[in-house]
Amino acid sequence: MSKTINVLFLAAEADPFIKVGGLGDVAGVLPRELRALSTDELKLDVRLVLPYHPAVKAENLRPLELYSIPRGDSEIGVEAFETSLDGMPVYFIGGDPIHSSGSVYSLDAKLDAEKYAFFSMAAMELPKHINWQPDVVHANDWHTALSLYVNLTKRWEAGAKHVAGVITLHNMPFMGSDVSAILESYGVKLAQTDLPEWARVLPLPLGLWASDAIVAVSPGYASEVLTEEFGCGLHDFLNLRLETLSGILNGIDTVSFDPSTDKALSVNYNLDTLNKRVENKELLQEKLGLARDPNIPLLAVISRMDVQKGVDLAFTALKNMKRINFQAVILGTGDPKLEESARELQKLYPDKIKAELRFDANLARQMYAGADMILMPSRYEPCGLAQMIAMRYGCVPVVRAVGGLKDTVIPNETGFIFEKAHHMSLVSAIKAAMKTLPNREKWQELQRNGMSKDFSWGVSASEYLKLYQSLMK
């Protein structure tokens, strides 16, 4: 007889409906990859639930029957919609708290707390209204963590079905803000937890506490969160939960990110035609107004402008490379101060450095295909996707030895690694890379090694499946 595992997969964002960061990439692909693992013996019915943010782009939305959830002395209305993506049911949940906060992540912590608490509550009520029962609730980051807390409190009700709770940890420092009053208004009691006191009212810690399994987005990050340096005050708690913690490396969408078919590129190439790649470099130089010269090292920064990503270290490093012949392109948006530093850098070295401070998916692809190396000096990096995409395109990563970067980049085989979060350590790594670059044979070997790595989702999705299965026992 064939078995089914039903999974309610909750996230704040998912490509192609709405994407702000790496979470959107993962939530956009992993649920479908999991469904694709279905066999005659085992069906994986994973369904994605997202907030109906005003900026969501979705077609053929079918409204479901309205429902409401109790809040204070009255009720709060939930508007749910259904659509599908490659055959996977996708649900959007709307309502006042989601609508009034506007953006996916607002600067107002209170609005976000209201929005995601409401979303988590409403999403846990959804199954009733679609005649479908999950075996697993799979939450991601703090935004949806409260669903696991609610799930656990439901389990305490007499006769309730045992629904397992899984949380994927993409970014530990973001825990949400105090939700004790909000939970109370929804009639959810705060339990006695073994969390540190300050954490007992925050969505992420509550979700971690209530989950049956915690998955960090790389094995490296899974061991880092157990340390004081990266554990954000929860390391002792996590050490007590060691047996429920694991690390599963994210994959990338290797169909979309494929230099041999990528439509954003003027010249497609693969391992056998790697020599053609240089044409993309020259086109990129021309497009950006840089000198068209295949011999000048071209460096890329493709990142959210955020101190997490260490872009400030990259800027200071570049600033200190006065006497070195190089070109660099910085692409991304984020912290206004960091954007300003990027602009200043361009002003300082107008012939060398271009700051493209915007979201531009096509330019990003052209940079992966044209730049010689990508710089990722992250202060912490739960997984990191850009280094994997870069390797697939033969763009050699220069990364800090941290989290998922350390797990995916092999020193002198696929890239260059440095230890300290200091710009001079980055400069040394860049210099080492630049020294290798003119040695075409050696450089192409680095490129080929990276391009040959399998960063597809298949492997990671199977690990999630194994985890689900272990929770079904």
Q: Which residues sit at the interface with ligand GLC, rule CB under 6 A?
A: 21-23, 26, 170-171, 217, 250, 381-385, 404
CB nearer to ligand GLC: give 136 or 217.
217
User: Where are the strands (E) in 127-260, listed by range?
Assistant: 136-140, 164-169, 213-216, 245-247
Least distance (Å) from ligand GLC to the CB of residue 168?
A: 7
CB of 25 to ligand GLC, least distance (A): 6
Q: Which is nearer to ligand GLC, 121 or 405 (CB)?
A: 405
What is the full DSSP assignment across 331-388? E--B-HHHHHHHHHHHHHSTTTEEEE-S--HHHHHHHHHH-SEEEE--S--SS-SHHH
CB of 338 to ligand GLC, least distance (A): 16
49 class by beta-carbon count within 10 Å (0-12 exposed, 13-18 middle, 19+ buried): buried
Q: In the structure encoding, which two tokens stand for residue 289, read together?
A: 């107004």
With contact defined as beta carbons under 8 Å apart, do 15 and 25 qualify? yes
Closest residue to ligand GLC, based on beta-carbon distance: 22
- Taking the complex as a whole, the smallest distance from the CB of residue 319 to ligand GLC amounts, in Å, to 25
Least Å from the CB of residue 40 to ligand GLC: 32
Place of tokens 């011999």: 295
Whose Cβ is closer to ligand GLC: residue 303's or residue 366's?
A: 303
**Cβ of residue 381: shortest distance to ligand GLC, in angstroms?**
5
Q: How far apart are the first and last CA of the chain?
A: 17
Question: Measured from the CB atom, is 26 or 167 closer to ligand GLC?
Answer: 26
For residues 168 and 179, give the distance between their C-alpha atoms in angstroms, rounded to a whole number. Answer: 20
Tokens in use for 313?
């270290």
Q: Where are the beta strands (DSSP E) in 61-187?
A: 62-63, 67-71, 74-85, 88-94, 136-140, 164-169
Nearer to ligand GLC, 357 or 402 (CB): 402
Q: What minimum distance in Å lies between the beta carbon of 225 and ligand GLC?
A: 12
Q: Which is nearer to ligand GLC, 218 or 341 (CB)?
A: 218
- Considering the complex, state which of residue 250 and residue 285 has its C-beta at the smaller distance from ligand GLC: 250
Instruction: Give Cβ neighbours of residue 141 (< 8 Å, ≥ 6 apart).
Output: 11, 12, 23, 168, 169, 170, 171, 174, 204
